[in-house]
Amino acid sequence: MGGVERLRRAISGHKLLMLDTMVFSYHLFDHTRYAPLTALILEAIETGQVAGLTTTITLAELLTVPAQSGDRRAMREYELYLAHFPNLRIVPLDIALAREAAQVRAVTRLRMPDAIQVAAARLSGA
């Protein structure tokens, strides 16, 4: 069974998927190896098969490269892409998430952006 089929089966067992920045990055930049997988994930969310969740950290990370090059148009396009993606909720950083992220980081030693993503998933039941 190929990677796409394994992923399809894995997705079917869930109601909510937490998406890290790389899912969007690989998809938007058509990564040769991972784009077929990200397309499957994003299609499942877009069609409502499963709900999606990410954080404002994802937006900040996606905006970094166009910000470095001064490409305000690309920044706006990425922001609109995430903000209007069907069935995707973007979790803002708040005090509860900050507390949970601190706990995640203390235990796992993940970098803070990754700890925030994991904390958001935990708090949301993903």
Q: What is the DSSP string of 81-112?
A: HHHT-TTEEEEPP-HHHHHHHHHHHHHH---H
pTM for the model: 0.87
- Residue 18's pLDDT band, with cuts at 50, 70 and 90, is very high
55 close to 114: Cβ distance less than 8 angstroms: no
Q: Which residues pair with 115 in a beta bridge?
A: none
Looking at per-residue pLDDT, the higher value among 6 and 60 belongs to 60
Residue 6 has pLDDT above 90, yes or no: no
29 close to 23: Cβ distance less than 8 angstroms: no
Nearest-angstrom CA–CA distance, 22 and 6: 19
Looking at per-residue pLDDT, the higher value among 3 and 96 belongs to 96
Q: Give the pLDDT score at 43.
A: 96
Tell me the angle at which helices 56-69 and 112-124 cross, rounded to the nearest 10 degrees: 150
Question: What average pLDDT does the chain have?
Answer: 94
pLDDT digits (tens, 9 = 90+) for 65-80: 999 999 999 999 999 9
pLDDT digits (tens, 9 = 90+) for 30-77: 888 888 999 999 999 999 999 999 999 999 999 999 999 999 999 999
